[in-house]
Amino acid sequence: MMKTLFDQYRRVHLVGIGGAGMEGLARLLAAKGCVVSGSDQADSPSVALLRQEGFAVSVGHDGQLVQGVDLVVYSAAVPADNPERQAAAHEGIPTAIRAEVLGELSRAPLTLAVAGTHGKTTTASMAAAILRRAGLDPQVLIGGWINGRPQAEVGSGEVFVVEADEFAGGFLHLYPSLALVTSIDAEHLDYYGSLEALERAFGQFLARLPFCGCSVLAGDGLVGERVLADLQRPHQTYGMADDNDYRIAELEERAWGSRFALCFDGQKLGEIELQVHGVHNVRNAAGAAALTCALQVEFAVIADALEQFGGADRRFQRKGEFAGVLVVDDYAHHPAELAVTLAAARQSGRRVVAVFQPHLYSRTRDLAGAFARELAAADYVVLAAVYAAREAPLPGVDSELIEGAMRANGYKTVAYLPDREQLVAHLVDICRRGDLVLVMGAGDIGEVAGELIAALAAGEYS
């Protein structure tokens, strides 16, 4: 298939090129010899970076942009009435959703697919770091920047590490040789409708493994019993409970890292020291270790690679500290992710100021109460306006739903500030020496971290 894709479709246009995953796909296709162009609905740091790298990227959508291309690829967030999709259909230009192209790329000799509601970007990145340290020079496509590395890497090896996204059933196009599932939680219910349907999709994903394939699954109840009961392929589990194949033991949590032992079948393989913070990252590391152990990577290599792993961008990422105020940025956008991220922040011993931008109106409507409960772990909460992403606004749905739920629960130190400038000014006003400001969300809220640091550095805070 590689020959078919890169020989037959030399000129490829990506609609939504600045989105998570599409940006990395552009780099991977270009490195494979394709001439890649793209468009996005708005300018962004990703779009600007792609332009700097030589990609022809247009802001705004126009049917003329697909003239002369061999293939139009679009993300799941791009609607059918998009002008470029319509023009491609009218002109008879082949089109494919991103997941289909990724599926064809995954026909590599050995594909490691990392799936899960939470933690898949970091876990996939850890696995890639281990394989890199082992000299296997993997190809990589993930949903974020890690240790300063881009979303896509074209190595010379035969192993392809890919983040398997469950959104809109995208991971059902993949052809994994080995698969890892970090967790299954109620997410993307606007598409699946129920947790049971989501679990069925994960079961279908695991069923795509070949008869000789193997899956590595999070234990401790993080992957539903229904999924485990239906597995038809060999599998191993990892976690803290004694019944896991790979067991986390002797855990020591530190201010900005952890140390733990990893055991297999009751035998201690060795110890792993992490620079990244939180129990969730201990689980991520254990999963990556278990997955790469299946490829016969030596444990000493695994431990060395994980010790050097510096974390993913926007995954409890330290952005800076000025005037005694530490600013941390995180991608958390689901109640379960808020819980582990806030727990990690609380371990710092600082007063925690949480800044949260809900992602999607449907998710805000469905999970407002859960968001309110988890955010109560912070000492002070600032809510930004909902980030719409692929959705149109829903009547009566905004961040005030979360604010109202928090106040109804007796939590008083919460403010909803939809205006970005007012939000940053409010943070400058309330911050005090020793605070940890935790910026969370999957939209553009990460910009607030930089804006706050700039304000603090400029002396707007005293």
Tens of pLDDT, residue by residue over 364-388, are 999 999 999 999 999 999 999 999 8
Mean pLDDT for the stretch of residues 387-397: 87
CA-CA distance, 12 to 88, in Å (whole number)?
A: 12
pLDDT at 311: 67
pLDDT of 70-80, one tens digit each? 999 998 889 99
CA-CA distance, 255 to 4, in Å (whole number)?
A: 51
Query: Would residue 121 show up in a list of annotated catalytic residues for this protein?
Result: yes
Q: Is residue 215 a contact partner of residue 209, using CB atoms and an 8 Å limit?
A: yes
Which residue shows structure tokens 């991608």?
331
Same domain, 64 and 121: no
pLDDT at 352: 96
Q: For residue 227, tell me if it sits in a domain.
A: yes
The residue segments making up the domain with residue 304 are 106-308
CA-CA distance, 239 to 262, in Å (whole number)?
A: 9
Same domain, 357 and 413: yes
Write down which residue in 266, 286, 308 finishes a domain. 308
Which residue shows structure tokens 């105020």?
325
Mean pLDDT for the stretch of residues 128-134: 95
Q: Give the percent of the chain with pLDDT over 70.
A: 95
pLDDT of 85-124, one tens digit each? 999 999 999 999 999 999 998 988 899 999 998 889 999 9
Same domain, 151 and 217: yes
pLDDT of 34-64, one tens digit each? 999 999 988 887 888 899 999 999 999 999 9
Same domain, 261 and 339: no
Q: For residue 2, tell me if it sits in a domain.
A: no
Which residue shows structure tokens 């040789």?
177
pLDDT at 167: 85
Catalytic residue among 120, 182, 337, 403: 120
Catalytic residue among 23, 84, 153, 163: 163
Q: For residue 4, tell me if it sits in a domain.
A: no
| DSSP-assigned letters across all residues of 98-112 | HHHHHHHHTTSSEEE
Q: For residue 462, tell me if it sits in a domain.
A: no
How many domains does one find in the chain? 3
Same domain, 351 and 410: yes
Single-letter amino acid, residue 106: S
Same domain, 261 and 358: no
Query: Would residue 341 show up in a list of annotated catalytic residues for this protein?
Result: no
Q: Is the pLDDT of residue 313 over 70?
A: no
pLDDT at 5: 65
Q: Give the percent of the chain with pLDDT over 90.
A: 63
pLDDT at 337: 87
pLDDT at 462: 46
Mean pLDDT for the stretch of residues 273-296: 93
Half-sphere exposure of 356 toward its Cβ, with a 13 Å CA cutoff? Answer: 34
Same domain, 17 and 161: no
Query: Would residue 91 show up in a list of annotated catalytic residues for this protein?
Result: no
Q: Is the pLDDT of residue 214 over 80?
A: yes
Q: For residue 1, tell me if it sits in a domain.
A: no
pLDDT band for position 137 (50/70/90)? very high
pLDDT at 148: 52
Cα separations in angstroms, 136 against 30, 160, 286, 347, 428: 22, 10, 20, 37, 47
Provide the mean pLDDT of the chain. 90
Q: Is the pLDDT of residue 149 over 60?
A: no
CA-CA distance, 364 to 250, in Å (whole number)?
A: 38
DSSP 331: -
Catalytic residue among 23, 111, 117, 121: 121
Same domain, 24 and 165: no
Q: For residue 396, tell me if it sits in a domain.
A: yes
pLDDT band for position 1 (50/70/90)? very low
pLDDT of 196-212, one tens digit each? 899 999 999 999 999 88
Task: Identify the CA nearest to 238 among candidates 259, 254, 215, 258.
Answer: 215
The more confident residue out of 155 and 132 is 132
Write down which residue in 77, 97, 117 finishes a domain. 97
pLDDT at 255: 64
DSSP 457: H
Mapped onto helix, strand or coil, the DSSP state of residue 185 is coil
Mean pLDDT for the stretch of residues 420-440: 94
Q: Is residue 84 a contact partner of residue 61, using CB atoms and an 8 Å limit?
A: yes
Q: Is the pLDDT of residue 435 over 60?
A: yes
pLDDT at 457: 80
pTM > 0.85: yes or no: no
Same domain, 327 and 204: no
Neighbouring-strand partners of residue 253: 258
pLDDT of 234-280, one tens digit each? 899 999 999 999 999 999 987 678 899 999 999 999 999 998 888 88
Same domain, 368 and 421: yes
